[in-house]
Amino acid sequence: MTHSNNVPDFLKMAKELKENASRYAATESVNFFKESFVNEGFTDSSFTPWQETNNPLAGNRTLFKKGDLMRSIHKTEANEQRVVVESDLDYSEIQNEGGEIIVTEKMKRFFWAKYYEFSGKTKTKNGKASKSKDSIKNNDKANFCKAIALKKVGEKLKIPQHQYMGESHTLIQQFEQWYTGEVNIVFKQHLNKK
């Protein structure tokens, strides 16, 4: 009587695990970073909440007025060597890392226009602002815009860090747990085929 051993194709199993791992890591990384917006903070080894904004133009939640920044997070590369997830919006880096921006003439014009919009000031036919007290409503949004519009060109504005993306010990641990589980499943499936 001959007895044959069914030797597993370890190379094929390893290749499938690697392919699945890069797909999983990309998907889970995108989801993990988007959760920062829901949680209003970033989780590395522990959770760090975002500093609340004093900007009255922001929505009810920090960095979530329209959700554009959160929706911009996507994978750009996922292979056996690495996974790259990024946001390609102009302001994504300054929000994630914090820093300073320089007041420009264009910025001043934008905030003057917003000031007029929020204050209820109207313009006369010749383009000058109406002096009518009835047309002026003082509110937080208008005052915020006016404060920025009055800044000098070249002055710096501090943008606080609201990290939503980056290296995360928690994310890596979740991935390692998933991968260990997948390896166990693959070997158990092979053992059950015998």
Residues 26, 85 contacting (CB under 8 angstroms): yes
Stronger pLDDT, 86 or 16, i.e. the higher one: 86
- pLDDT of residue 144 exceeding 70, the answer is yes
Residues 96, 166 contacting (CB under 8 angstroms): yes
Stronger pLDDT, 55 or 134, i.e. the higher one: 55
- pLDDT of residue 189 exceeding 80, the answer is no
Residues 58, 66 contacting (CB under 8 angstroms): no
Closest CA to 82 of 34, 30, 27, 26: 26
Q: Which residues make Cβ contacts (< 8 Å) with residue 162, sequence separation at least 6?
A: 50, 51, 62, 63, 95, 96, 98
Give the per-residue pLDDT at 138.
57
159 forms beta bridges with 99
101 forms beta bridges with 157
Give the per-residue pLDDT at 67.
87
Measure the N-to-C terminal CA separation of the chain; round to a whole number of Å.
18
Place of tokens 């929505």: 59
d(CA 13, CA 96): 38
